[in-house]
Amino acid sequence: MTVWLVGLALFNISAVASLFVSRSRRRNRVPWLLFAVSLLASELAWLWLPVQATLALVFSLGGALENPVGRFALGALVLSWPVLVWSLRTGLACGPLVEHALQGGLGEGYRAEVPLALQQGWRPRTVFRDWRNPVRFSHPDVELIRNVAYGPAGVRQMLDIYRPKVIPPGGCPVILQIHGGAWILGDKAHQALPLMNLLASRGWICVAANYRLSPSVGFPVHLEDCKRALCWIRTHGREYGMNPDFVAVTGGSAGGHLAALMGLTENRPELQRDHPGVDTSVQACVPFYGVYDFLARYQQHPNSELVIAFLKDRVLHESPEQNPALWDLASPVAQIHEGAPPFMLVHGQLDSLAAINDGRTFAQRLRRSSRKPVVFLELPGAEHGFDCMHSPRTEQVIDGVHRFLEWTRAKR
């Protein structure tokens, strides 16, 4: 029993320590490991804390405290629990922060600008049953259509459709979801499931698209595939109950980067050669914890050297010196213009993969240029990928995204 208690203590201390490393925003050489460990402590604290308290009691009753090592391990474990309590509190308390960010970007009276018919799907509050099962993603009111081809490249050019079981006569507004995975991995079926099922149950149609991955292809192929998916929505969406007159785009991490570019590179012929003349503008853009400047030109990323080396070798296949125009095209911060659609940017303060300063800088510069509203939601205690599961924080954030989208739709 002592060995198990020591193992539990070491694992929990590693998870808790990772939060402090993320919070320091210092350079680290193992950001992926940091992300994997700290996500447990930051997003599942409400579940992880009672589980380990129970295990600690079991190990103690089993004789783990009969020697100094066991007693030391239990003491170290208990001393780490206040950090988990802090994580739980930040998740439970983020609702007012979401509302404050929306009011700051849209105006204090934004709710009154949304017709009551569009407000009917808003949840008045989140409750325990909304997040008690972190990985239950299906919804009784949502129909899922898998693996619809939007291009000829097989599984990497297929999409899934989440739609209400009852489609209104005029069709449903659409949101295109772009998965993350550092541009080299990921799949349409594994990300943003809480958001897509919520929106689909409230009258939206969500389209989750795959795209071709690096290193087999180099940027901008990823962006071109996302535009192909949007063109498919515009030309074939009505067959599936969509109203392609309103299409929003979202995504997390690499998907957040591509979503931002989708919002900022509309109707560029060189990026949609297969579909000339099809409208590739979007009516709203909601990137989660995206990467907005591949060159970290404003010193906003503590791991800028690692990021640039990875992008050069795996994603862009050329250095900034060899092709500066390509690196600018790949950087949303360099593509900002006054005609950008409304943006809602979501970023966690403890993000160990996509620097929070990158999100802040992009939001500031976007506000200076865009004629449309910019909402920047900064979440204390949140890690990269926090919304991949149900949690108190996830539910309150996706409710805020829903309100933003309905406001944007009402203001058209």
**Catalytic, out of 38, 253, 304, 370:** 253
Of 42, 66, 388, 351, the closest CA to residue 12 belongs to 42
CA dihedral 117, 193, 138, 228 (to 10 degrees): 80
Dist. CA 379–CA 318, nearest whole Å? 34
Contact yes or no for 179/186 (Cβ under 8 A): yes
Residue 111 has a CB neighbour count (10 Å cut-off) of 16
Dist. CA 130–CA 125, nearest whole Å? 10
Question: Residues 6 or more apart from 136 whose CB is under 8 A from it?
Answer: 390
Residue 185 backbone phi and psi in degrees, to 5: -155, -175
The stretches of 25-169 forming alpha helices (DSSP H) are: 31-43, 45-61, 68-92, 95-106, 116-119, 128-131
The interaxial angle of helices 2-24 and 68-92, nearest 10 deg, is 40
Of 368, 378, 323, the closest CA to residue 346 belongs to 378
Of 183, 294, 276, 295, the closest CA to residue 231 belongs to 276
Question: Residues 6 or more apart from 203 whose CB is under 8 A from it?
Answer: 121, 164, 168, 172, 173
Contact yes or no for 226/280 (Cβ under 8 A): no
Residue 346 backbone phi and psi in degrees, to 5: -120, 125
- Is 351 part of the annotated catalytic residue set? yes
- Is 222 part of the annotated catalytic residue set? no
Dist. CA 332–CA 249, nearest whole Å? 14
- Is 216 part of the annotated catalytic residue set? no
Phi/psi zone of residue 203: left (φ > 0), alpha (ψ -120 to 50 degrees), beta?
left
Dist. CA 204–CA 173, nearest whole Å? 5
Partnered with residue 177 across adjacent β-strands are: 208, 250
Of 234, 283, 279, 287, the closest CA to residue 261 belongs to 287
**Catalytic, out of 179, 301, 384, 402:** 384
- The DSSP bridge pattern shows strands 158-164 and 142-149 to be antiparallel
**Catalytic, out of 130, 351, 358, 387:** 351
- List residues with catalytic annotation: 253, 351, 384
